[in-house]
Structure formats: structure tokens, C-alpha cells
Amino acid sequence: MTISARTAVIHGRVQGVAFRHHTKLAARAAGLCGWVRNCADGTVEVWFEGDDEAVARLETWLKRGPPAATVERVELETVTPAGHTQFKVRFD
């Protein structure tokens, strides 16, 4: 099993629509670790790591998001895994 990690910045109507909560559920269901948080500029930022296939599934999910969201653009970057042990919502 190959482990990979990504960061994503999601643009659009992504705050106030439970995007963080649904991202946490999707990531945990896929067996991924990392975090999600709202940013001051109205975007949502996600760090996720795990099995390559699970990472790819979350990438696809982020491009549509939960039903109430309108995703306009997702900026993805490959990063070095940080060894996160769970997936959580950050409030910083």
C-alpha cells in the first residue's frame, strides 16, 4: 500500500453549508487522516493522507462537495505525509 498526501483549497460557496462536517465524514469513511478548516478568505482548506486510492476518491468528492455547496475550483497540491492519526475539523 502506497501512502500519499494532498492539500486542497476549495473555492465557491463552501462555508455555511456543512462542508467541513461532510468532508470529515467522507475522509473517515475512506480511511484517511488529516484535517479540514475554514479560511478567512471564504475558502475551505483540507490536508488528507492515506492510501493512494482513498486519496483519489476524496479528491473527486471535494470537486462536488456536499449537496448545499457550490464548488467553483479546487487547488490541489501533493505534499509529504505528516503522519496524522485521525481526521478532524480544525477551528483555527
With b for 16 or more beta-carbon neighbours within 10 A and e for fewer, the 30-53 pattern comes to: bebbbbbbbeeeebbbbbbbbeee
pLDDT of the residue at 92: 86
Residue 50 has pLDDT above 90, yes or no: yes
The whole-angstrom separation of Cα 92 and Cα 40 is 10
**Model pTM?**
0.95
Residue 1 has pLDDT above 80, yes or no: no
Residue 82 has pLDDT above 80, yes or no: yes
Mean pLDDT of the chain: 97
Mean pLDDT confidence for 64-75? 97
Q: Which three cell numbers stand for residue 44?
A: 475551505
CATH number for the domain spanning 17: value is 3.30.70.100
Q: Total structural domains in the chain?
A: 1
- Active-site positions read 20, 38
Which residues form the domain of 57?
3-89
